[in-house]
């Protein structure tokens, strides 16, 4: 970025990224890589503590329940409920050209409501999303990366 270009944290900066066709993508790190690797295979895997069997998400090096650092990754159903959400009408993020929903999803397998997957809710009007709405995962490919998204689960 040159001194004359606006910061990406401003509307002008986001508009500049849109003009250039830049789409934000997750950047997996050592801790989150298994989540993104599973998504590439259109599977939803969550981290489990090997000591207390607690699901944890977002992924972390240590268990928030018992503090143990051992963990494994297990496939989950992909079903959950909306814990919280916002509808973004500002359209500042490149790749989003109409209002969109960003939600926190509690997976049905989680025993604590602090386990939340942040994703978009798609496939329904933004006005139809509600707290407690049953949802299910589906996978969307963006710029070669497979990203878990959610849609209303009409079978629940």
Write the pLDDT tens digit of every residue in 8-58.
677 787 777 777 777 778 889 999 999 999 999 999 999 999 999 999 999
- Cα distance between residue 60 and residue 75, in whole Å: 17
Which residue in 135, 139, 151, 122 sits closest to 35, CA to CA?
139
Compute the average pLDDT of residues 84-88: 95
Identify the residue whose tokens are 């814990």: 83
What pLDDT score does 15 carry? 76
Q: Can you give the pTM of this predicted structure? A: 0.85
Residue 94 tokens read as 């490149």
Measured CA distances, 36 to 25, 29, 30, 31 (Å): 11, 9, 11, 10
- Cα distance between residue 87 and residue 76, in whole Å: 27
How many separate helices (H) and strands (E) can be counted in the chain?
Answer: 2, 8
In the chain, domain spans? 29-152
What pLDDT score does 1 carry? 45
Identify the residue whose tokens are 């079903």: 79
* List of long-range contacts for 34-38, beta carbons under 8 Å, 24+ apart: 34/59, 34/73, 35/59, 35/73, 36/145, 36/146, 38/73, 38/75
**Are the C-beta atoms of 149 and 140 separated by less than 8 Å?**
yes
Identify the residue whose tokens are 């997750």: 26
Which is more confident, 1 or 125?
125
| pLDDT tens, residue by residue, 89-116 | 877 777 777 899 999 999 999 988 889 9
H-helix or E-strand spanning residue 83: strand 79-88
């Amino acid at each position: 970025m040159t001194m004359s270009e606006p910061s990406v944290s401003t509307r002008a900066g986001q508009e500049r990224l849109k003009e250039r066709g830049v789409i934000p993508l997750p950047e997996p790190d050592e801790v989150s890589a298994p989540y993104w690797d599973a998504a590439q295979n259109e599977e939803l895997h969550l981290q489990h503590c090997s000591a207390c069997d607690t699901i944890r998400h977002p992924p972390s090096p240590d268990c928030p329940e018992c503090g143990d650092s051992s963990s494994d990754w297990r496939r989950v159903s992909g079903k959950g409920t909306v814990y919280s959400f916002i509808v973004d009408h500002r359209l500042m993020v490149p790749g989003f050209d109409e209002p969109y929903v960003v939600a926190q999803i509690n997976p049905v397998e989680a025993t604590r409501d602090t386990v939340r997957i942040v994703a978009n809710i798609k496939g329904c009007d933004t006005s139809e999303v509600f707290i407690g709405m049953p949802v299910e995962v589906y996978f969307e490919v963006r710029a070669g990366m497979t990203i878990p998204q959610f849609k209303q689960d009409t079978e629940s």
